[in-house]
Amino acid sequence: MASFLGHPSSSPPFLHNPTLQPPPLSSPSFLQLKRSCPRRVVVVPVKCAPSGPSDDVEPDPASPSSSLSWSASTYRWSAALGGIGFVETVYLTYLKLSDSDAFCPVGGGSCGDVLNSDYASVFGIPLPLIGMVAYGTVATLSLQLAERKFPFEIGISNGRLVLLGISTSMAVASAYFLYILSTKLSGASCSYCLVSAFLSFSLFFIISKDFGFEEIQKAVVLQLCAASLVFLTLNTAYTSSPSVPSSLAEVDLPYFTTEVTTQSSPFAVSLARHLRSIGAKMYGAFWCSHCLEQKEMFGKEAAKLLDYAECFPNGYKKGTKIEKACADAAIEGFPTWIINGQVLSGEQELAELARVSGFESNEVGQPS
């Protein structure tokens, strides 16, 4: 036992000699043996498995979550559709600004008729130009969001809301234009209009689908505001001009010129020069017989001196709007004179025109 206690690193004697019994647990020798034996810790490798179903391929922590990946796909789709719309509207803008004829695969010349109608502009701005800006914005912003690059530091939430507002506005505008095409321009076929409407509705659908139900509830106010603003703007633009007489509702009149045959008196020539010098203006339409009679009162020499505005210089057919200058002056009938801010409707005697305009001449009482 003394030998064993002197060499704590060696094995206890009773492990080699079965006849020897280990000391009692309470004996001093056992306690000394317990203190002298070092403890060994065995480390067993344990692999923890997830509680859910396991996959053979471990997820990449750098990759986005499934919902964000689906959103990126949505933005790529909207970028592609916006790009197609941008190319189409660039072509139509070129045709509109260059006054060229549009190639219409379906409908013959109907595409050109629609593109050249007054409904192809809003407050003087060509409609294809507005569409080009809208489609270009959608395509650019969608690409930025798909690549997680947020322009102007607007963030993904604000970027998605901007896309939702633009797509809602475009869908409402397309619905309004389809209504115009079917009611005001009935019989005309415009394949470009239909393609643009399809693109707008598709953009609205896929961008709206990217929002959850709760997000849509929060964004519904934005959508209503955008839709109301677009509708009021278009409705104001297309109803600000007075409507043409109902008797011309189904008439297709190409523009034609009328010839004044009477000779002008010195009084008529002087009056015409005076009216022009003070900014007096006569508004008329090429088919208006009263307009021709008013010019005949002045005679052909004096009539050329008048500041005359033709309200339908490109002819008239269903859907054609009145010229912008006539619309801005709120012309309701032909002929109409505006002299020093005073509106005179219908034919006017030369003496009356002289009185209203302040023209003084010895021949006022004897106009020819």
Given a cut of 60, whether residue 133 has pLDDT beyond it is: yes
Torsion-angle region of 257 (φ positive above 0: left; ψ -120 to 50: alpha; else: beta): beta
pLDDT at 280: 96
Which range, of 72-86, 140-154, 329-343, averages the lowest pLDDT? 140-154
CA-to-CA distance for 32 and 1, rounded, in angstroms? 11
For the residues of 49-99, what is the DSSP string, one character each?
--SS---SSPPPTTSPPHHHHHHHHHHHHHHHHHHHHHHHHHHHHHHHHHT
Token readout for 355 is 């009185």
- pTM score of the predicted model: 0.50
- Distances from the Cα of 320 to the Cα of 125, 230, 282, angstroms: 16, 22, 21
DSSP, res 11? P
Contact 211, 219 (CB under 8 A): yes
Closest CA to 239 of 156, 123, 148: 123
Tokens 């492990």 -> residue: 15
Tens-digit pLDDT profile for residues 48-90: 444 444 333 333 433 444 344 446 788 889 999 999 999 999 9
Average confidence score pLDDT of the chain: 76
Comparison of pLDDT for 98 and 58, the residue scoring more: 98
CA-to-CA distance for 230 and 243, rounded, in angstroms? 22
DSSP, res 15? G
Residue 319: pLDDT band (50, 70, 90) is low
CA-to-CA distance for 184 and 171, rounded, in angstroms? 19
Domains and CATH numbers, the chain: 69-240 (1.20.1440.130), 266-357 (3.40.30.10)
Mean pLDDT for the stretch of residues 284-303:
93
**Beta-carbon contacts of residue 359 (< 8 Å; ≥ 6 apart):** 270, 271, 274, 275, 353
- Distances from the Cα of 52 to the Cα of 45, 46, 164, angstroms: 22, 18, 37
Which range, of 77-81, 123-127, 144-148, 359-363, averages the lowest pLDDT? 359-363
Closest CA to 98 of 90, 106, 107: 90
Given a cut of 80, whether residue 264 has pLDDT beyond it is: yes
CA atoms in the 13 A half-sphere facing the CB of 233: 17
Q: How many CB atoms lie within 10 A of CB 156?
A: 14
CA-to-CA distance for 200 and 228, rounded, in angstroms? 17
Tens-digit pLDDT profile for residues 294-309: 999 999 999 999 999 9
Give the sign of the dihedral formed by CA 232, CA 233, CA 235, CA 237. Answer: positive
